[in-house]
Amino acid sequence: MKKVMVEHLKYRYPGTEKLALDDVSFEVEEGELIGIVGRNLSGKSTLAQAIVGLVPHFYRGAYGGKVIVDGIEVLHSTVSDISRKAGIVFQNPFTQVTGSKLTVYEEVAFGLENLGVPRSEMMERIDEALTLLGIYDFRHANPFDLSGGQMQRMAIASIIAMRPEVIILDEPTSQLDPQGTEEVFLAVQRLSREGMTVLLIEHKLEKVARYADKVLWLDEGKVMAYDSPSKVFSRDDLEEHGLAAPIYTQICKALKLKSPDGETYPVTLEGAYEVLKRWN
């Protein structure tokens, strides 16, 4: 079943002339994990806002085309209706924290209170989300006493506890250490295997290559590619549009060593190992 359908979406912020999104179309199946990549200002965050309805309901501006999330059309729904279907984790956790709650536990409860979830279920969901993100031990801490990485995981837990059908994460690991980053990717992969549809904006292409089912590459508001990580990251025009292929791909490309399919280059550690091992 298709969870997200975007058809010929065009969007311009108020007071600007350039289209932030220019004829964007793609579809996402239930449970898929999609990596959204592209240089800064390519339209990734705007697309994320368009899926949860902040574009156009909060930002206004000129809007054309259609976004359908779990069967409802974003343009004709309210942000609060869409919030029951799709949740977003912002790039900067400081933007997301309510600032009105004194503990991590209450912060994660906030969204659930708004949804009117019964208390006993709330407690169960909060514990689960905090454990999944590895911050259960900080549940009584003040959100503003957390490190950047811990706060980022709290922001993700707040959304996951709401159990949306679709979750969009905007660079969720930018402030995390390598282990924290890996934990978040594993948590996201688990959610996607359990059936949650995940859209992940990320600059770490090695991670995208390893975890994403498909890659949506945007540049100047347009879709450059929507395909498997190996197909997208093997393209020759990445650099020209401000992207660097995963390091594994760069190495194999420099050595002209293709994957067994004869078309693409390896994009992961294992893929690169397979083609390089015979040189040892």
Interacting residues with other proteins (CB under 8 A): 39-41, 91-92, 94, 147-150, 171, 174-182, 203, 206, 242-244, 246-248, 250-251, 254-255, 269, 272-273, 276-277, 279-280
Residues 6+ apart with CB under 8 A from 45: 91, 170, 201
Residue 49 beta carbon to other proteins: minimum distance, rounded to whole angstroms: 14
Crossing angle, helix 104-115 and helix 148-160, to 10 degrees?
20
Residue 208 beta carbon to other proteins: minimum distance, rounded to whole angstroms: 13
Q: Is the peptide bond before 118 cis (omega within 30 degrees of 0)?
A: no
Q: Which residue number, 30 or 220, has a Cβ lying nearer to other proteins? A: 220
Q: Which residue number, 51 or 272, has a Cβ lying nearer to other proteins? A: 272
Q: Which residue number, 201 or 212, has a Cβ lying nearer to other proteins? A: 201
Residue 95 beta carbon to other proteins: minimum distance, rounded to whole angstroms: 9
Helical H segments across the chain, by residue range: 44-52, 54-57, 79-83, 93-96, 104-115, 119-132, 148-160, 178-193, 205-211, 229-233, 247-254, 269-276
Residue 148 beta carbon to other proteins: minimum distance, rounded to whole angstroms: 6
Secondary structure class of 166 (helix, strand, coil): strand
Count other Cβ atoms within 10 Å, centred on residue 148: 13
Count other Cβ atoms within 10 Å, centred on residue 279: 7
Residue 188 beta carbon to other proteins: minimum distance, rounded to whole angstroms: 18
Q: Which residue number, 177 or 261, has a Cβ lying nearer to other proteins? A: 177
> Torsions phi, psi of 24, nearest 5?
-90, 125
Q: Which residue number, 101 or 253, has a Cβ lying nearer to other proteins? A: 253
Residue for token pair 């159990």:
163
Amino acid identity for residue 271 in this structure: G
Residue 261 beta carbon to other proteins: minimum distance, rounded to whole angstroms: 20
- Measured between alpha carbons, how far is 242 from 186 in angstroms, rounded to an integer? 27
Q: Which residue number, 115 or 269, has a Cβ lying nearer to other proteins? A: 269
